[in-house]
Structure 1
Amino acid sequence: MASDKQSTIDHSSLRRSPALEAAEDRALTQRDGEEKQTEDDKRAHHPVKAALPTPADHPLHNLRPGDHILDRDFRIRILLPPDQQLKKAKLHCCWQLKHLLREYEQIVKQRLQQSADLSSFILELKTVLEVCLKSHPECRSMPPPQYYSQLISEMETLGWDKMLFIDTNFQTLKLKAEDSSGRQHVLNIKLKSKHPTEAPDCSADLPVPLNINWTPQSTLDQLHSQFLLVLESLAEFWDVLDEIDTKTWILEPERPSRSDTMRRIAIKNNVSIRVEVDPRHPRMLPECCLLGAEHVVTPLRSKLNANMHT
């Protein structure tokens, strides 16, 4: 029986083929090249990365939906003297800017004196304007052209003779009105930039709140007519107070206005009576309060109470 012989192979005696060695050399060269390229790319992109802004970890502004961004243009001319000293410069500006800065004139002069150069002063002036515009929301934006044509058309319908005042922005108006007794009244109107879509702000010297009905189709003529109706509803109230003012000695108020409902009337030395008239029910007995020394006021109060219940 033949036995199998195991043969032992000496691997150290094997030689690597030239083709294998060449392949390994190419692989090593390619790996070294890739590593070098990666390092070069990092060095090449480092300046670009450094130039990019770092992502902020906080909000870049505090604006909220509905906030106004101040965007107004004004014309201004700054004349420097021959010696180019900014402190002696003269400012010429458009009438809108002049009107806007009328309350900040001293601040502008101070900034002009303290600014190092013209650029610094312009920045200071811009800051003052931003503060001014924020405190005057009505000046942030000018009404569109159709606003003015609409306003002129409404005033022609109402009648220019009823206008007592209009400001330079054509937004604040004062209209006069006369009640059936010939008393003169003034209606103050503050128009919005979206007039007539937005209702105006109205006020008057009245003893009751002024409630005006307004729609996008309303006009100043209709507004004036509503005001006349309000005046007529208060005519009897003013008749009563006018009679009191004419026939008694009024201590307070010294200069009664049409909105005052109280009168303090002198009765005799060191004694007076304070009456409060209800604008809606002027013929009803008013609230009364006797003022003076108690020993003098007590008998008068008794007589007053007796007459009130008879």
Structure 2
Amino acid sequence: MRLAFMITALAFGLAACSDTSRYTMPVANGEVPAIYQARQDTGPNGEPITIPAVRAAYLNERNQRQRVPYNGTEAPGSIVVDPYARVLYHVLENGEAMRFGVAVGRAGTGYYGTATIRRKARWPSWRPTDNMIRTQPELYAQFAGGVAGGTENPLGSRALYLYEGDRDTYYRIHGTLDPSSVGKATSAGCIRLFNQDIMDLFDEVSTGTTVRVRSQSESRQMEGPLIETPEGYVLPASEAAALGYTDSSQPFVTADPTPAATTAAAQIADPYAQQAVAFAPQVSDPFADMTTDTAFVSPVESAVPAR
């Protein structure tokens, strides 16, 4: 079973952790900003890996990172995850934050509260939980030994692991094999960023960083009402109305953001809630070069590390 399209290679010089200048970039205008161009990285075994450029079609105003005003109470250096607004904030000084677009799965709304990054991993490994293997052996038994970190691992290039004290929350912030999913609610995973974004965020934060994951009510209070577009993105209600979306045409995003499957769906066990959710596992890149095989079947973009 093929896990993903192959991501091929390359190392990218990063500025010091205190330098946020690389965060500054214009809103997408049809061209891929420099920060989302292909870059070179080093794989888990020292091999060169090229991180492909993010396609301009995936870089709408809300998806790409940008410095924005921030009115939350979290201290500079903190991370704030809003799974309902599908954004992540890295809080900066002077009432600002760097905002990143994220993809959210069912597990992304299964936890809220304040946690700490206790572990960071480059090209992390992944293993389905025992519950996933037991309930869907046809999908997961072949991965019982774990999937090594690399270009076919559903956690992507980097992962941040959240803990409450010594307790692993099993909540992860990580990369993705499917850049077209960023800004949407897909699969049963946690919080997924473009690989370029998680790589830079990974270098900006350290273990011990505080992470606040907003509840649904906190999201509504801080972000206001949101409307989901037919393309699967969310917008503030005021912006959506200006584009012709209304409450009657598109419902507010106030519940579990994981959409129901629209094709022959597989029942995938949620490793966090220990219950089943449905999603269509076949993901393809509609903008990909049709001469290459870019479709993949992801077992689930969860974030359970291999044991």
Normalised by the length of structure 2, the TM-score is 0.19
Choose between structure 1 and 2: higher helix proportion: 1
Normalised by the length of structure 1, the TM-score is 0.19
